[in-house]
Structure 1
Amino acid sequence: MRRPIPPPRRHCLNHHPESSPAGPARHTPRFPTRRSPDAAFGEAIADTWHRTHGAKRLDIPAGIVATLALWPTKTEGAWHAQQLADFIANQPAEKWPDTVGEVASVHWVQRPDLISTAAPILRWAEDEHSPDTLYAIKAVALTALKHGILHHTGDRDPALRSDTDLMSWTITALRHRGDRSWLGEFHTTSDVADAMSRLSMGAHPPAVSSLYECAGGTGGMFRAAAQHLRTCSVDPRRWTWHLQDLDPIAAAGAAVNFLIWDLGPNATVACGNVLSQGDLHTQALKARAELEELRDRLADKAASTVAQLRTLRMLEDLGICSPPPHARPENSDQSAA
């Protein structure tokens, strides 16, 4: 029999786990101080999702992994990771769609283009879900925490967040074997990608250059290249990175990875067929500019609204104007008396 879903409870994304009640959340397992092997992580996510939900769709579990990997509060040390994991695990099942939206919104402010590209694995959070699906969502989140996702992606140092491509392991494990063959989608292991990067880039890579891949999947080769640059004391944020892939789920995973790996302001991801559409780098730059303009307009409008509300409150405090009728106390007659 499945455990009952816990009742909803107020929570805040910016709440620090140290301000929670002392001790780990009830029914929360102790999370590991070491990371599970990459393949074991993906297999555990797939097994949990298929066992608790059974649906073929993979956008939901991939989105949960992406949300945990993108969690804004980065930690230092195993103890802090444990505290943060306890806090995240205590999120009620009903709150997980809202949590996905909150995490995506935080990163949308910084890189609206990458979060828009990642929409195929995040958009499900806007839908209504059955209790069974919510149960499976939380089960996937707990599995990801138990297998050390915060130790893979939760460090402040981007070099320590770039040891592996968890999105690729997750998506590949969730796909049916026949789907992987039809898409030509096979994971390139980290050690192979690292070796290829060292051989192709050499011991003295330039401080500024570019890398383009027309069928890049979730970006495993870019991860290896960025790590090699760091070992050579070259900042990957100064490079230009452009990845393109036909599969929208893979492109979404790459967009999430670009944020995790901190590839910098010149990193773009596009979804399209290079054979029929060609290089989509220019279109990706155009889309990015349009989304950043939209973000700036929304930010200006929000700032203007806040300023107007503050001005009205000051005038009310000075007695210069009265609050609108809907804001007056219910016992208006007693207040007037």
Structure 2
Amino acid sequence: MPKRRPKTGYTHVQLDLFAQPVEPAPPSPMKAAVATPPPPAGPAPDPAAPPARRPHLVRTTPTELAEKIASTWYAHTASGSIAIPLGVTAALALLGHEHVKDRRDTATHVLGLDPAGLIKCLREIWAYAWLHDPYLVHCAAELARWLDEDPPSKVVTAVHAVARTAITSGLLSLTGDPDPAWRCEHDVLGALLTQLRSRGARNALAEFHTPPELANLIARMTMLEIPEPGGAFDDPAAGTGGLMRALALTLRLQGADPHQYVWSMADIDPIAAACCAVNAMVWSLGPNVLIYCGDTIATGDGAAQAAEQRRQILDNYERLMYGVAGIQAFIEADRLVDRLMSGVA
């Protein structure tokens, strides 16, 4: 496993009067373990040629997509848990990144699954995501917990309908581009959470998501100058992370790399906090993301608690991976001894 990066100083950018500085978290140990080798260098692009058109399945907006998914879910009235349609959408949003070459093939595969096959596919997506980033998947558990047991048939039918609606209505056109700068333009989960929650529930939780246009304006005003690498961005009332999306997009548009910064997000709502974790993967915020679910005003140290939890999760993960590697090595050695002994005999 790779050694952890030593702690360094950073510039702290506050998005809220109550934001507290946090230290950069150690990088995920899976970065090297599952890294995809870079593609071979091709010929230099012709500057006179028009830009390549990106293949979109269906052109849509997060709000339009969210309305269709919510309508499909409530038409089936299978369960009162909004974590289920959010979890389906979140899992499918993780499909179209650098590991998927053609989003049309991805869409065709998902649409070809029967309800039981789709449930199996969703479990596999979360399992692969855990291998890539165990901490963020742990933080997103609220969206995947319903898959721990076999859901009722009515829920399975509703989940299948939601997945088909999400794919055919253009989810991958918003979340499936291999370029993270394009994925940073949209917060699908934020729009869907708003659609799935009643007005009364949103008022009770004081849950009001910042419109993306306003978030982009705030990000540009906040970063008149790009912070030095190692800086930290904190939002103690992050919702689904809309302000962080805008900040990451602004960094990328100015040539900076979000992976070189710390991203600390907190929210009192566990579903919103789970959406933050998935969005951090969709937007490729990098190895230094901290997610805290709780009242940061009351505790005052949410980021520090999140950093400690992340350290424990990654430590446990490293021990597990070393254990798996040791067991595999023992099995291979035992097979080698058997072959050698067979040769002697």
Quick check: 1:44 aligned with 2:65?
no
CA contact (8 A) 2:68 2:165 kept: yes
**SS of match in other structure, 1:243:** strand
Between stretches 308-317 and 206-215, larger displacement belongs to 308-317
**SS of match in other structure, 2:57:** coil
**SS of match in other structure, 1:61:** helix
* One-letter amino acid matched to 1:206: P
Percent identity over paired residues: 33
TM-fit CA distance, 1:195? 1.2
TM-fit CA distance, 1:185? 1.3
TM-fit CA distance, 1:76? 7.7
Corresponding pairs, count:
288
Other-structure match for 1:120? 142
CA contact (8 A) 1:35 1:149 kept: no
Other-structure match for 1:20? none
CA displacement 1:173-229 (0-9 Å, x = unmatched): 111221011111123222111111112212x32232221111110000000011011
**SS of match in other structure, 1:160:** helix
Measured in 1, the distance between the counterparts of 2:67 and 2:82 equals 13
Other-structure match for 1:165? 187
> Which of the residues 327, 332, 341 maps onto 1:305?
327
Measured in 1, the distance between the counterparts of 2:150 and 2:287 equals 35
Other-structure match for 2:211? 189
CA displacement 1:23-45 (0-9 Å, x = unmatched): xxxxxxxx963331111111111
> Which of the residues 83, 87, 101 maps onto 2:105?
83
CA contact (8 A) 1:52 1:136 kept: yes
**SS of match in other structure, 1:207:** coil
> Which of the residues 219, 227, 230 maps onto 1:206?
227
Quick check: 1:263 aligned with 2:285?
yes
CA displacement 1:293-328 (0-9 Å, x = unmatched): 11111111111121222222233334459xxxxxxx
- Higher RCO (Cα < 8 Å, 6 or more apart): 2
Other-structure match for 1:273? 295
Other-structure match for 1:288? 310
CA contact (8 A) 1:109 1:295 kept: no
TM-score normalised by the chain length of structure 1 = 0.81
CA contact (8 A) 1:215 1:243 kept: yes
Give unpaired runs (5+ residues) of structure 2: 1-54
Larger radius of gyration: 1
Please identify runs of 4+ aligned residues in structure 1 that moved more than 4 A.
none
* One-letter amino acid matched to 1:207: E
* One-letter amino acid matched to 1:46: A
TM-score normalised by the chain length of structure 2 = 0.79
Measured in 1, the distance between the counterparts of 2:262 and 2:223 equals 15
Pairwise CA RMSD = 2.0
CA contact (8 A) 1:162 1:223 kept: yes
